Amino acid sequence: MTGLLTLMAQGGHIMWLLFVVALLQIYVFMQRWLSWPKLCYSAANLSHRPLLQRHAEHLQALNALEKGLPLLKALVVITPLLGLTGTVTGMMLVFDGLSLGESADPRRLSSGIARAILPTFASMAVVLLGMFFLSFWQRRVRKTLQGH
């Protein structure tokens, strides 16, 4: 646990925001998993219903199945931008230290750059998690609707 806290402290405040985004992605995934809707119409008697009613039922089912996916998509889109923001902020601190003459030592400079790049690395890990969740649910929606 102390390793995680050290990593979070090294990456700056953006790391905590990325952590919250990862938790939100996991929450949306689990919420979808636990509340996956059963479709309210059966494929056997679809041919007896008017076309407009079948289309309306299909759209209602699609809305129920895609609940939560727009939030997941938004989280996937903003995550790399958060990582980049953290990296830019970290690099600004490194260069600010250089301009003040604090860290002209190459070791301190490389350490500062490594800390600055940490949020980008973390955001890529969180984005991969989100993309996995998003593609899982999109495939499941498509398969469910094709089966009906």
Residue 43 resides in a domain: no
- Which residues lie below 8 Å from residue 49, measured CB to CB, with a gap of 6+? 57
- Residue 55 pLDDT: 72
Residue 57 resides in a domain: yes
Structural domain harbouring 124 = 2-35+48-146
Task: Read off φ and ψ for residue 11, nearest 5 degrees.
Answer: -80, -15
- Residue 20 pLDDT: 94
- Residue 102 pLDDT: 63
Tokens of 26: 């996991």
**pLDDT band at residue 122 using 50, 70 and 90 as cut-offs:** very high
Residue 129 resides in a domain: yes
Tokens of 128: 């991969």
Q: Give CA 26 to chain center in angstroms.
A: 9
Q: Percent of the chain at pLDDT above 70?
A: 87
pTM: 0.75
* Sign of the torsion angle spanned by Cα atoms 118, 120, 124, 130: positive
- Residue 25 pLDDT: 94
- Residue 84 pLDDT: 93
